[in-house]
Each structure stands twice: as C-alpha cells, then as structure tokens.
A and B are shown apart, each in its own frame.
Chain A
Amino acid sequence: MSGTTASATSPTTDATHVAVPAAYGLPGAPSAPAEPLDDPAWTALTDAATRERVTPLLASAVAAGAFPATDRQYGAIVRAHERSMRTCVALERTLGDAATTLEHAGVAYRVVKGPAVAHLDYPNPSLRAFGDIDLLVAAERYDDALTLLTDRGGRRRYPEVRPGFDRRFGKGACLVLADGTEIDVHRTFVAGPFGLTVDLDALFATDEQFTLGGRSLPALCREHRFVHACFHAALGDAAPRLSAQRDVAQLALDDRTDVAGALEAARAWRSDAVVARAVTTTWSRLGLQPTPLVRWALAHQPDRFQARALRAYSGPGRSYATQTAAGLAAVDGLAGKAAYLRAVLVADRDHVRRHDGGYVRRLRRGWQALRATRTTR
C-alpha cells in the first residue's frame, strides 16, 4: 500500500486500467501502474471492473501487491469482492435447486459459463464473478426443462417466437425467478447461424464434473468449454465483457486444454472463425503476449458461410433479426428451411406484438435483416 497517487492520464493499456486486473495472473499480462491511482481514476477503474465483472481479479491483484492501491482503496475493493462472492454463492444455491429439479425429471443438462468455469478453470473460484445461472439442456427435453423450471416460479422474460421454435431452432430462454434471479436455459450456444451449426449431441456425449455444496454437477468437457467461451466472447454481446474474454485466455493458456481438439470441434461446427475472432480480440484487449494460437487466429481466413454469418453478430447491423435471418443458411434441407422461415415469419401473435408491433413491420424488418447479412463489408 502507499499514500501517493498517480494521475489517471498515466499511459497504460486502457483508459481505466481495467485490462490490467482482467489479465492478472496470466503469463505475459500487462504491467500495473507504478503508483496508486488518484480518486477519480480509481473510481473509474472500480466502476469498469464492476461492469466487466472483474472485481475479484482486481481485489486479488491489489491484495497480492500486483496492483498498487491506497489503504482506503484496498478496503473498498475487498468489500466489493465480498459482495460479489455473496451474490455468487446465492446464485449457486439457485443452480443447485434447478439441477435437482432437472435431475429428478431425468433431463440431461450441463452447467455452462460462470459457476462451471469458476470451479473448473480458475485457480480459485473466488476469482470469477457471475451474475446469473446458465444451463444447457438437451434439445429433446428442452420444453420439459422450461416447464419444470417455470413450475418452480420461473417466468419467461420474452415470449417464444412460435411454439416449438426454441426446441428446434432457438438459442434458449431467460427465466426470471421471484427474487429476480435469472436462469438462462440454453438449447445451443447463441442465436442465429452459429447456434445452428453446433453439434448438440456432441456436447452431451462428454462432460466434466465439478463439486458444489457437496454434490457433483456436470459441465461441458474442457475443449467444449473453450469453444463455448469463444462463442460468448465473440458473438454474445456487441461489446464483450472482460470476464468473458478472460475465460477465453484462461482456458487457452491452460495446459490441460487440448487446443487442437477444440479447434477440430470448432471446424466441424463451421465456427473456427468464431474461435479466431475471440482469440484475437481477447489478446488485443488484455494486452497479452502472442502464442501459436494467436498467430493461427490472426492468419485465419473465414469461408464464405462464416464470413457472412459473422456479419450478423457484429457492426451496426447487429441484431436478433439479422442473426435470425442469417440462420436460414445454416438450417439443413429444404423442409428445414421452410419450417424455419414459417416459424420466423408467421410468429406467435404475442411475440410479434412485443418485438415488432405487427406482422407487416415484422416482414419488412425480416427482409432488411436478410439483405444486411448479404451485404459485403
């Protein structure tokens, strides 16, 4: 700890310095400022850390002396870390209850994202914060899973496009419990074309167990966790959270991850471009030293399908509509494409009312979205 402070304008890799703690503990991570930040800069950093869900990494870096802080700053970030961990254990109780419900009904599931990577991929689960629960459910029991969890008090945040759409084509649904806790029930990794090319059976053919409150819960195997982390970081949000990018680096730099095996799976799912994008953007933002995987990612050239599909997830045209429109190319067979188009265009009345305001407007938006995915950048 120290009593002197550095200016917010000190040159670092990020205006708020938040990439420094986000990369804390990784080989080749960028250096922290030499002196504690002044109060405005510290506030900007902790706000960014909260937004990016890397408060635990910042607190741990400060506690280890790897990021300078005044005594007051240290106390504040430790309290913020404690709050985030109290949220995590409360969410893990919800996870345990949901898992029990699904297991009693014989519904196959995998825990994905936050709790799974916290317990399996980080040296200490206290380094990974999360704000909701994510479950991947086998497609054939997807409707059952939603019914079971809504019977326990979950309420769908958004209505389904059309009955049966989620089970066959959708990403999944967000359920909100009475206490505000969110459970994302996924059928696949993302909406749109890349969600339709993932081999869902392969995801359930393997698993890796982790222990939570004295019981074992199934997660994806390590290679599938890495590919999923790439999906989340590259396609999940227009501006990915640093916690999602840290997951990519955490798994990629773990000697236990069979990166070649993960890339093989990604190629089979026509999504190696997703891995390439996640790796390049992660390394750039975290300021890490290049590895052979990064060199592969920088040299990667997506094929026509992937180049077009990627456009639906990025840039100003990014929207659920463009992803859905681009998904048509990934649906197998004419009958499948017809069913997909019918479900999307002749959507459930409640869904149309909430999303588009009317069928004519929906058709117009659908046509514009389809054209957007065909436009060359």
Chain B
Amino acid sequence: MTHDDSPRWIHSEDVLTRSGPFGVVLLGRQSSEPVTLTRTGPAVWDLLAHPRSLDDLTEALAERHEGSRSDVRRDVASFLDELARTGLIRRADRVAT
C-alpha cells in the first residue's frame, strides 16, 4: 500500500450486508433500498473492511484487472463517491457517530 495524504475510507459500522455468488448486498442507514455490488464492486468492498485510500484501492485493483491505471483510478473514485454519498463508507479518520 502507498502512503499518501488522501483520505482513507472504511465500511460504515451500521451497514447490513450479505455476500454470495450474486455479489454483495448492502443496506445502510441512509438508504431506503438495499444495493447490490457486482463485478469489481465486491472486491473493492472487501478491501474497504480496512482503511484504504483511493491510491491503495487503485493499486490493488490495477494489479488484478486490465485497463490503464488512470481508468481504474477514475472508476474507483466514482465508486467511492457513491458509497460515501449513500453512507455505506465513512472517513476512517473520523469517529463513527
């Protein structure tokens, strides 16, 4: 993992989850409906069990998947934004409320 100053993200504690052949089903406090992560989503979610920065995730995924590092980084950033917006992840340096 790299050591950068960008924020690190981690699962929100109150998320209800299920994983299986379908991917990962998540239901956060701020969501009215569960969401299902598929394709690379479950791999990113698994990595976020521990604090990870955008660089950490990009590095880990770029090793596993085809495509340029910049494409991977853009996709992961968009994915993190969505997870954060729906309260499924939180900043690891902030105390959970």
Task: Please name all residues of chain B whose beta carbon is closer than 8 Å to the beta carbon of A124 when the two chains form the complex.
Answer: 19-20
How near does chain A come to B52, taking the closest CB pair, in angstroms?
A: 19
Is A35 at the interface (CB under 8 A from chain B)? no
Query: For chain B residues 32-91, which have a beta carbon within 8 Å of chain A?
Result: 33-34, 36
- Considering the complex, give the chain A residue whose CB is closest to the CB of B22: A82
Measured CA separation A93–B21 after assembly (Å): 23
In angstroms, how far is the closest chain B Cβ from the Cβ of A130? 12
Given contact pairs A86-B34, A89-B34, A93-B27, A78 touches B21 in the complex (Cβ within 8 A): yes
* Given A85-B25, A86-B25, A89-B25, A213 contacting B14 (CB threshold 8 A): yes
Point out the residues of chain B lying under 8 angstroms from A92, CB to CB. 16, 27
Pick the interface stretch among A55-63, A146-154, A326-334, A367-375.
Answer: A55-63
**CB closest chain-A residue, reference B38:** A82
- Whether the pair B21, A89 counts as a contact (CB closer than 8 A) is no
Q: Does A364 contact B (CB under 8 A)?
A: no
24 A-B pairs within 8 Å (CB atoms) are namely A59-B20, A60-B21, A78-B21, A78-B22, A79-B22, A81-B20, A81-B21, A82-B20, A82-B36, A85-B22, A85-B25, A85-B34, A86-B33, A86-B34, A89-B27, A90-B27, A92-B16, A96-B16, A126-B20, A212-B16, A214-B12, A214-B13, A214-B14, A214-B96
- Give the 6 A-B CB pairs with smallest separation, nearest first: A214-B13, A82-B22, A63-B21, A85-B18, A89-B16, A89-B27
Binding site for A on B (CB under 8 A): 12-23, 25-27, 29, 33-34, 36, 96
- The interface of chain A, by Cβ under 8 A from chain B, is 56, 59-60, 62-63, 78-79, 81-82, 85-86, 88-90, 92-93, 96, 124-126, 212-215
